[in-house]
Amino acid sequence: MGGSISLLRVNTNPTVRSIFAASVLLGACGVSCLVGCATGSDSTPGSESQSATGQAGPATIAADVIYKPAPWKKTYSEGKRVIRREARADGDSPNRWVIDEFDSPDGTLRGGLVRQTFLERGADGSIFLAELHMVAENKILTFDPALVLMPATLSSEKACVSTSDVTMRDGASDAATKSRGTATQTTRIVRQKGDVTVVESQMIAKFDFTTVERTATLDIVPGRGIVREVQDRSVRFGLLNLSRKTSTVTLIEMPPP
């Protein structure tokens, strides 16, 4: 198993296809290879935790606090839009699962399937991204080796940086058109206050002359996982800004059954 998400270069020829491919990949890795997770010093202000006794120290967070294995269901809101995420086992292994995401623009829970995320848990507890199925766009992204989304334990003292090869196919057919490149991600703890840990995942993706940047900021609470997610995504062609979008989703506390 392998890496993470932040810098991506895919060699495609048609300009329009290159831009669309970059946008699809970046939207998919909402949540992100060189094998393993390279670490470096991260002395960002505010990255220390404050204990109940008043003693400051490095903040840490375990991978399974963010990426809990199946089964589970969660519902998020983005204005009037409702997003459901449901995790189920992938085969017989407890260390492989799929997160199905449903989008409900009308505020109900009847939205259609828009995305499938295939995750794996390594022997050390790290979480890897194996595939992304962009159902609405009929795109399948495969990472080889599987891309590290989160080391077993992330510390505010060091950021996690990882890179992987990525293949994007237009559908599941063996004859589907393919685009190949690389993906690299940097994951770090921004701060920790009380029971909330804020984790930032930053990606820069390059397709020929197209550059896509994505920064996702996750508010995480033990036992609840991601309670708030802010994403900022932009696409550039050379020095020309083509698009930029910011979105925020918030966990809806569902009443017990």
Tens digits of residue pLDDT in 9-36: 333 344 455 555 555 555 545 443 334 6
With respect to residue 257, please indicate whether it lies within any of the assigned structural domains.
no
Q: Which residues contact 236 (CB under 8 A, 6 or more apart)?
A: 210, 211, 212, 213, 242
With respect to residue 54, please indicate whether it lies within any of the assigned structural domains.
yes
d(CA 187, CA 201): 5
The angle at the Cα of 27, spanning 31 to 67, to the nearest 5 degrees, equals 15
Summarised one tens digit per residue, pLDDT across range 68-111 is 999 999 999 988 888 899 999 999 999 999 999 998 877 666 66
Give residue 224's domain range. 7-251
Summarised one tens digit per residue, pLDDT across range 201-219 is 877 666 666 666 778 999 9
With respect to residue 75, please indicate whether it lies within any of the assigned structural domains.
yes
This prediction has a pTM of: 0.76
Q: What's the pLDDT score for residue 252?
A: 92
With respect to residue 1, please indicate whether it lies within any of the assigned structural domains.
no
With respect to residue 256, please indicate whether it lies within any of the assigned structural domains.
no
Reported as a pLDDT band with limits 50, 70 and 90, residue 255 is low
Q: What's the pLDDT score for residue 33?
A: 38
Looking at residue 123, its amino acid is A
Contact status, residue 26 vs residue 205, Cβ threshold 8 Å: yes
Structure tokens at 97: 């699962």
With respect to residue 32, please indicate whether it lies within any of the assigned structural domains.
yes
Provide the domain count of the chain: 1
Pairing of strands 196-207, 7-11: parallel
Q: What's the pLDDT score for residue 97?
A: 97
Instruction: Report the 10 Å Cβ neighbour count for 71.
Output: 10
Burial of 140 (0-12, 13-18, 19+ CB in 10 A): buried
Query: Cis omega before residue 256 (within 30°)?
Result: no
- The alpha carbons of the chain give a radius of gyration, in whole angstroms, of 18
**End-to-end CA distance of the chain, in Å?**
38
With respect to residue 2, please indicate whether it lies within any of the assigned structural domains.
no
DSSP, res 137: T
